[in-house]
Structure 1
Amino acid sequence: MEDESPSTSTSSHEGDPTRSEPKWLGFALHPKKRKSFVTPKLVEELERAGFKMKQLDPSKPLEEQGRVDVLLHKMTSRDDWSKRLENYAKEHPRTCIVDHPDDIAVLANRMTMLRPARKARLNTPAQFLLESPECAVQEALETRGMKLPLVAKPLRAGGSSGSHTLGIIYDQQGMKDLLDGKLEPLRPPVVLQQFLEHEGVLFKVYVLGDTVQAVHRPSVHDARLKNKAKETCTTESEKGNSFINRKVEHDLGPGEKEVAKSSEHEEPHVQMWTYMSRTCPNGEKPVGLHVQMPPQEKLIKIARKLRDVLNLELFNFDLIRCREHLEEGERDVYYIIDINYFPGYSKMPGYEKAFASFLKSYVEGEKENSEKRE
């Protein structure tokens, strides 16, 4: 990875981003994201594809940071970023920006996140926004045909603090604990989503333009987490919390670990989950989860529909498979339960080569579109 002095560079709109000489890929990412994503292997693959990488400083004017042929970004915590990027795009029309901030913003809020999926006629669980403890919860549930157990998720998504924590609310006591603010970091406003039995596994489907690849990930097995687990309990009485932290290490194979919180009752009112590691190495199935991967053509079809309606190139979605019992037998029904922008591609086997290939195709496609407009 190299840097280019602003004083010696040409501006991005003065160069052709598809010429044979190396193209400058500027990236603006949070430090944690940058560390996991920008690896030596990725830099190597991008150089083979004709790109040189340069780190952009989001606190400084982009115009002062040299030539940028392709701009990659995920800066959700900067309120002014969208406007600055929009202005930069107008001044530098030849720069390929992946993706537009307005399209990304839809996925930062879990109440807007699944609307595009429903627009594309894809299945999603029923859900509603619990804005405050004073909300008429029971009435809202009945109106939407929802019932316990429910999944409680933070309203804010996109990698913000606590955004990957969820709670399974089993009963009225669990709901009371949520409303009373006892389930940190889950406090209203939170999204309540209908829990659907899905055999203890979800499929995390990564999308890189036309590339679609899925991996298994462990999930809640059923409404009472009826799986064999090794449990070590640590009380949190010093925090004034009536809950017990249970570190649950399911026999899921290497790389799989979950953390759960439950009450002291034999059957908990709430289970709090934070996934410490989300996939098995090399895309292998977690031990004990004998669930078939959905057909690749099914995944591609869903991904294309989402890509069209989201107008995004870099995202993944969590897919669960539910068994529907009919008189003539059973059938599989797939539900999208979460969508994330610019996810942790480092968990996708072989992401470096796939990303370089995507970027090359994306730039070539943008060139063709530009020539048609001209």
Structure 2
Amino acid sequence: MNDVVSKTIGIWMSGKKSQKLNWKELISACASHGYKLVKLDLERPLEDQARIDVFIHKLTDIIAAADQGDPKASTIIGQVEQYLSNHPNIAVVDPLDNVRMLLNRYCYYSILQNEPSFQNKGIFTPTFAEFTTNDIEVNIGIMKARGVKFPVICKPTIAHGSKSAHEMIVIFNEKGLSVCKSPCVVQTFVNHNAVLHKVFLIGNRYHICKRPSLKNFYASEDIEPIFYSTGEVCKADSQSTLSILDPQDKPDITMTINEDVIKTVIRVLRKEIGLLLAGFDVVIDNQAGNHAVIDINVYPSYDNFPNFFEHLLDCIDEVVSKRTVKGCKNYEGSYRINGLINVGKCTNSYGVFGMNVN
């Protein structure tokens, strides 16, 4: 155990995510680092529950609901923000304002698209456009102005808050745009031979897993829109027919992810968005071999992250230590990266690519 005065970590997450957590292992890991763990209840005043030093949360769905006007969610988030304002020395993982940046797909796609360090490094986010109306003619004009080409993936603009946030549509032609329900984002589909690379981050530690994805698609006037859920197609054990390549698309070579590219993306996300717990999805363009960042996630599932709790507590130790040394009033996502560490091999059937890097 570390030779430090015992501190308290307050944690909140939804019932669904809470059920997936190995609480016994987490409590043990916290104790080994000198922390007591307290599960917070947002239905009760936070001031009455515990004096906490670190606040870990996954409030994405509640924040999203609050931002869309839900009165109960607004009350909860208001109380949390007031509590954190009253106790500025609490280390927050992650700051709510930073989390908000990833609730809107158009917002974070814009950050990625405008990132100068991606230039000439084979990194891009596919062209995209936001629809705020269901008028097809207006939306066709918006797509053309922004260089969005068919086929496209239509996604809800709000990336969290409901099951529909993960419901997608592949659209092959202009008439197919009739199924789009605003507000939504359409993004040019990049053919990537049905392979998705998911990158999971804990501070300066990362882990890359390979997952199934959508097969290659091409613009067509004859194909109707295809509706799907990312959970049905892109989970490690998914066996969707949408992931089976057509015979003419069988790849002759396996496209290998470039870890230098991954490190560049990580540095940008930490600098521009400042989250300790996040993840992003990358596909490799099967024509040019460039890496496309197609989504970013707040506090993703870390099911396959080796020794997740130990890495999480190490990260918290570093944040608390830096706050103590610098005497900062609040963690605002400015945690600096001295080096990036790939935490090792993935045990799932889809494997992991990676090397130890600094």
| Alignment partners' CA distance in 2, 1:292 and 1:159 | 34
Q: Distance in 2 between matches of 1:84 and 1:310?
A: 24
Question: Is the aligned partner of 1:152 residue 2:157?
Answer: no
Q: Which has the higher helix share?
A: 2
Larger Rg computed on CA atoms: 1
| Runs of 5+ unmatched residues, structure 1 | 1-17, 180-186, 226-266, 326-331
Q: Identify if the C-alpha distance between structure 1 residues 53 and 193 changes in structure 2 by more than 3 Å, giving closer, same or farther.
A: same
Matches within 5 A, 1:264-343: 268-274=223-229, 275-276=231-232, 278-280=234-236, 291-325=254-288, 332-343=289-300
CA offsets, 1:281-315, max 9 Å, x none?
Answer: 8xxxx999974552333322210111111022111
The 1:170/1:80 distance shift into structure 2, 3 A limit, reads same
> Could you state the TM-score of these two structures normalised by the residue count of structure 2?
0.75
Question: Residue by residue, what CA displacement relative to the aligned partner does 1:107-155 show, whole Å, maximum 9, x if unpaired?
Answer: 1111112222234334211111122222512211211122210101112
In structure 2, relative to structure 1, the CA distance for the partners of 1:195 and 1:291 (3 Å cut) is same
Aligned residue number for residue 72 of structure 1: 56
Q: Select which of 192, 212, 217 maps to 1:218.
A: 212
1:192–1:353 CA distance, 2 compared to 1 (3 A): same
Give the 3-state SS of the residue equivalent to 1:318 in structure 2: strand
Alignment match, 2:68? none
**Superposition CA RMSD, Å:** 2.9
Tell me, which stretches of 5 or more residues in structure 2 are unaligned? 63-72, 119-123, 238-242, 246-250, 331-358
TM-superposed deviation, 1:173: 4.0
Q: How does 1:1-374 map to 2 (within 5 A)?
A: 20-76=4-60, 77=62, 78-121=73-116, 122=118, 123-135=124-136, 136-176=138-178, 178-179=179-180, 187-223=181-217, 268-274=223-229, 275-276=231-232, 278-280=234-236, 291-325=254-288, 332-370=289-327
Are residues 153 and 324 of structure 1, via their aligned partners in 2, closer, same or farther at CA, if it must alter by over 3 Å? same
How far apart, in 1, do the equivalents of 2:102 and 2:254 lie? 28
Letter in 1 for 2:184: V
The 3-state SS of whatever aligns with 2:160 is coil
Query: What residue identity is the alignment partner of 1:52?
Result: K
In the TM superposition, residue 38 of structure 1 has moved relative to its aligned partner by 4.6
Q: TM-score, normalised by structure 1?
A: 0.72
Cα separation, partners in 2 of 1:356 and 1:175, compared to 1, 3 Å:
same
Q: Which has the higher strand share?
A: 1
The verdict on how the C-alpha distance between 1:34 and 1:291 changes in structure 2, with shifts beyond 3 A counting, is farther
